[in-house]
Amino acid sequence: MSGVDTPASPSPVAPKTGRLYGIGLGPGDPELLTVKAARLIGKVDVIAYHSARHGRSIARSIAERYLTGSQIEEKLVYPITVETTDHPGGYRGALEEFYEEAAERLAAHLDAGRDVAVLAEGDPFFYGSYQHMHKRLAHRYPTEVVPGVTSVSAAAARAGVPLVEAEEVLTVIPGTLPEEELTARLAAADSAVVMKLGRTFPTVRRALERAGRLDEARYVERATMPGERTGLLAEVDPSSVPYFSVALLPSRLHQPKPDPEQGEVVVVGTGPAGPLWLTAEARGALANATDLVGYTTYLDRVPVRAGQLRHGSDNKVESERAEFALDLARRGRRVAVVSSGDPGVFAMATAVLEVASADPYREVPVRILPGMTAAHAAASRAGAPLGHDYAVVSLSDRLKPWPVVAERLRAAAAADLVLALYNPGSRSRTTQVGLARDVLLEHRAPNTPVVLARDVGGPTERVRTVALGELDPAEVDMRTILLIGSSQTRWTVRTPGDETVWTPRRYPEQ
């Protein structure tokens, strides 16, 4: 009716949903629950927990004293516990179907306004089954995750060993990884925890042994729970290891001092620059050493570790450096000789082996660990100039006469090999680059691509390509490596500003 106000219809009120909680229970001892976890367990309407088909739930047993007896309990029973199933989607398909069904069961309670707590051993977000519910429900309902004491912390506490100190890094590794991957990660780790043992234990043990760290490893089974067992991992019977056990590599700073009978020298290739170029094996050897020996510039690339001694020296005393390292090893020290790039390519491996082949160092163990070479690093930045046969030549005439260098350059150029030229120049050697250019021009066209790669991987990295006939020796220093193309090497511009140098793998018939 005109002129008469009518009341507005009230807006529909969305029904209030329940709240989802992911509750961390800690490692097993009910007294290690947080106060908040205990309070929420006694407050919610629904308690959900996972279990195997036998129906027993470790999570429920931990939380049992905090339950009220009047709460709804949702038992989320795994359909399978091993990777054998006739499900059309396989093991993963069966689990995905289970998680979807379990999430919808909990969603029904949340839609009805009931608060739901999903119990999780340890911490909910640390290899916890709760995460599968979180991914499916947290975006639909108000959610809170309550952290718990992890099995990692509990295992270290029960074994009585510190995990990490100062700048050490803790690595957490699932034992289900392939053996090669386990070995690499264990070799590189300062400190590590390997989870999910059980049937993976023999593989983990072999990986620890291959990484040279079996003697350090501790074993903890059912930390803080009935049936707890701790000890040296090397002494554990593989057939007795349950899933709820972990392997620990404690802090290196708390390992026993080296046995005087176990000294050795490891010549470590650190690659052309910093830590990104280190192999896992090299990283582990550097961390395990009691003493680092090397050219001061290269030593500065290795992180400082508490308790480790560093012995820097000038770049021109390789034999003296090698003898010093071997003498330390004779006295029981674990010595890492730090070498840039690969130690066997114009570097420290030869110097160490030469001294080690004579008395009194013949009995000192010597190992060589490879590293990324400067040539390969530079090639990767330029494209693929080393895609076919190539030769590596040092332009330094400090240890061999220049006529020998020139003869080798001519031979390689005549064979139409790509060339990687190391040690092209220094403050005291200023003529070699020009001389090498002139020798190569006897066999190569002036437009042959030359990659100039300086400080690859470092803060002042610069990689560019010039024609051989335009190579300016003044632009080359000791930190530069040169890659000289063959007659087949291509120098292309793929997009503006993106130059690429590559050598085809196929060579034309003569």
Pick the CATH number of 375-502 from 3.30.950.10, 3.50.50.60, 2.30.33.40, 3.30.465.10: 3.30.950.10
> Could you tell me where the beta strands, DSSP code E, fall in 251-319?
264-269, 291-295, 309-313
The Cα diameter of the chain in Å comes to 116
Higher pLDDT, 155 or 84: 155
Domain boundaries 153-254, corresponding CATH code: 3.30.950.10
Q: Is 1's pLDDT higher than 50? A: no
Higher pLDDT, 11 or 173: 173
CATH architecture for residues 20-148: 3-Layer(aba) Sandwich (3.40)
Give yes or no on whether 20-148 and 153-254 have one common fold: no
Higher pLDDT, 13 or 23: 23
Half-sphere exposure of 10 (CA within 13 A, CB side): 3
Using DSSP's 3-state secondary structure scheme, residue 227 falls into coil
pLDDT (tens digit per residue) in 246-273: 999 998 877 765 555 679 999 999 998 8
Using DSSP's 3-state secondary structure scheme, residue 395 falls into coil
pLDDT value of residue 13? 59
Q: Show me where the domains of the chain are located.
A: 20-148, 153-254, 260-369, 375-502
pLDDT value of residue 200? 95
Q: Give pTM, 2 decimals.
A: 0.78
Q: Mention every residue, 6+ apart, whose C-beta is less than 8 A from residue 389.
A: 417, 418
> Could you tell me where the beta strands, DSSP code E, fall in 209-327?
218-221, 229-232, 245-249, 264-269, 291-295, 309-313
CATH architecture for residues 260-369: 3-Layer(aba) Sandwich (3.40)
pLDDT value of residue 39? 97
Mean pLDDT across the chain:
91
pLDDT (tens digit per residue) in 177-223: 999 999 999 988 989 999 989 999 999 999 999 998 999 999 999 99
